[in-house]
Amino acid sequence: MMKKKMIAVTLVFSLILCFAYFSLTTEALSKMGSSGTEVKNIQQKLKTWGYYTGSVDGIYGAKTKAAVESFQRKNNLTVDGIAGPKTLDAMGLPSGAKEASSNSSSSDLNLLARIIHGEARGEPYTGMVAVGAVVLNRVKDSRFPKTIAGVIYQAGAFDAVADGQVNLAPSADAISAARDALNGFDPTYGCVYYWNPVTATSKWIWSRTIKYRVGRHVFGV
């Protein structure tokens, strides 16, 4: 009798462990046929950034899938049309994936907002996001430092650092632009340089290929 009880307890315990393992390793995702609040959030983000032109109806159809694929392609993610953890993280949406510490995230956001404010206040909002995107594109580029702080404080990289404007309190628009850039909005499509064509005197910077123009800045690679 005791042996049967032990077997039963062992079996139940094993089932609990299996369920826990499955819960930890199964990735939440939205894909074709999904519906609900998460899909609405995905659609709204993609619509705001210009990837999606359909209705924000919470139904993951062909247009939503195509928009997700475009977002994934632009952000160097696996292009499968499925909004899994990595894609959701890139959009700034909850995913269940392990998140960076809140202190680190807050520090990066604040620093990025300050360089945007110092370099691009008075520019159109998209131009502010574009400056933030350049910083993040440099982080991904092997020619530049690998952290936001490293890129921003690289010697001679930004006038706002040289003249101290990076230390000013960022505006609400700068904070919002930094958040959008961190969430994957890149109107420059991968540019790593920008300059004011009216004031730029460097022959080298003019050798860069211009890909995007907004406000007083041009953006290039």
Domain ranges in the chain?
A: 37-91, 102-220
pLDDT digits (tens, 9 = 90+) for 134-167: 999 999 999 999 899 999 999 889 999 999 999 9
Q: Which CATH superfamily is domain 102-220 in?
A: Cell wall hydrolase SleB, domain 1 (1.10.10.2520)
**26 has pLDDT over 70:** no
Residue 20's Cα: distance from chain center in Å? 30
Residue 189 half-sphere exposure, CB side, CA atoms within 13 Å? 10
Band of the pLDDT at 97, cuts 50, 70, 90? very low
Structure letter (DSSP) for residue 205: G
Q: Which of 11-20, 39-48, 157-166, 185-194 has the lowest mean pLDDT?
A: 11-20
Task: Return the CATH number of 37-91, one of 3.40.50.10860, 3.40.50.1980, 3.20.20.70, 1.10.101.10.
Answer: 1.10.101.10
The sign of the CA dihedral 28, 30, 35, 41 is positive
* Cβ atoms of residues 187 and 164 within 8 Å: no
Angle formed by the axes of helices 102-120 and 172-182, nearest 10°:
120
Residue 35's DSSP bridge partners are 59
Residues in Cβ contact with 81 at an 8 Å cutoff, skipping those fewer than 6 apart = 31, 32, 65, 66, 68, 69, 72
C-alpha span between 201 and 195 (Å, rounded): 10
Of 91, 93, 128, nearest to 112 by C-alpha is 128
Q: What is the mean pLDDT of the chain?
A: 83
Q: Which of 58-67, 92-101, 138-147 has the lowest mean pLDDT?
A: 92-101
C-alpha span between 186 and 131 (Å, rounded): 9
3-state secondary structure of 30: strand
pLDDT of residue 96: 52
C-alpha span between 149 and 3 (Å, rounded): 62
pLDDT of residue 5: 54
